[in-house]
Structure 1
Amino acid sequence: METAVVAVCSAVLLLGAGFHIYWGLGGRIGADVSLPQHEDGGPAVKETAVGALAVGVVLALVLLLLLGFAGQIRLPLPHWQLKTAVLIWAAVFTVRALSWSRYFGLFKRVRNTRFARYDSLLYSPSCLLVGLGLFLLALADAA
């Protein structure tokens, strides 16, 4: 089961990192639903290439962390540090998914925008899946 959890979480993180890096490099596919929107459809946050690239790099680093923790790659960190980092990121992804923020999370208040629909159907469930998967892996680890 742990192999399946690693595979699913890795796929979600790789896809998320890929899209964010693509947007950061100027890609436009999906960009119109990549950021929270006000009720009138206007952007709630400013779009920046640096921001998109930063998110992409962070997601890629979390992927490397996951692969290192799962023993798929070798990282120059002790196992306890990898486990601690996995638990921290598990909390970050779970909180993102369950947020009561105005614009994102499963309990968001603004629900009538294109971003909100994608967030409800794809982004927040993906974050919850990764968060719970990381928790499962870290808590199942006996080392």
Structure 2
Amino acid sequence: MVQLSKALLTLIFAGIGAIHFYWAFGGVWAKQLAIPTTQNGVPLLAPGFSDCVLVGLFFAALLLLNTMAVSKFMSLLLERIVWVIIAFIFLARAVGDFQYVGLFKQVKDTTFAYHDNLYFTPLCLFVFSLIVVKLFVR
């Protein structure tokens, strides 16, 4: 079960990182679907090159943390603490801001809200659960 969890996390982190690098270098596919908007369609974010690269590097770091034996560089306790923090980041994203993003969003009739309900929030909950399995199932 832990190996399956690690494998799925690897695929998810690689995919999310790759799409952010794609956007950073000019790709447009699905970019507008991933940006929350007001009910009038006004984007709440305007991510540029550095924003997309930063998120891509974050997921590259998660990919390395998930696939490499990092115990050479940090203790097992520190590694587990890092994973707990990452798990709570994904849980927080799934819960959302209570306005435009997440399970408890108020603005529910935008294209982003539709995709958030269908893909982004469930994916964040799935990643959270995979990390929990990785940490606590042996």
Per the alignment, residue 7 of structure 1 pairs with 7
Matched, 1:85 2:93: no
Per the alignment, residue 57 of structure 2 pairs with 57
Deviation at 1:74, TM superposition (A): 6.6
Is the 1:100–1:109 Cα contact (8 Å) retained in structure 2? no
Residue type at the aligned position of 2:20:
H
Per the alignment, residue 133 of structure 2 pairs with 136
Per the alignment, residue 112 of structure 1 pairs with 109
Residue type at the aligned position of 2:85:
I
Deviation at 1:138, TM superposition (A): 1.3
Is the 2:10–2:63 Cα contact (8 Å) retained in structure 1? yes
Task: Please give the secondary structure, in 1, of the residue aligned with 2:116.
Answer: helix
- RMSD (Å) for aligned C-alpha atoms: 1.7
Instruction: Give structure 2 stretches of 5+ with no counterpart.
Output: none
Residue type at the aligned position of 2:77:
W
Structure 2 CA distance for aligned equivalents of residues 124 and 102 of structure 1: 14
Deviations 1:93-142 (A, max 9, x none): 0111122431111211111111111111111111111111112211235x
Deviation at 1:82, TM superposition (A): 1.2
Deviations 1:1-58 (A, max 9, x none): 1111111122111111111111111111111112111111110122222111111111
Structure 2 CA distance for aligned equivalents of residues 12 and 22 of structure 1: 15
Structure 2 CA distance for aligned equivalents of residues 83 and 74 of structure 1: 10
Matched positions, count: 138
Compared with structure 1, are the counterparts of its residues 48 and 101 closer, same or farther at alpha carbon in structure 2 (3 Å cutoff)?
farther
Q: Which structure's relative contact order is higher, taking Cα pairs within 8 Å and 6+ residues apart?
A: 2
Is the 1:20–1:55 Cα contact (8 Å) retained in structure 2? yes
* TM-score, L = length of structure 2: 0.90
* TM-score, L = length of structure 1: 0.88
Instruction: Give structure 1 stretches of 5+ with no counterpart.
Output: none
Per the alignment, residue 38 of structure 1 pairs with 38
Per the alignment, residue 123 of structure 2 pairs with 126
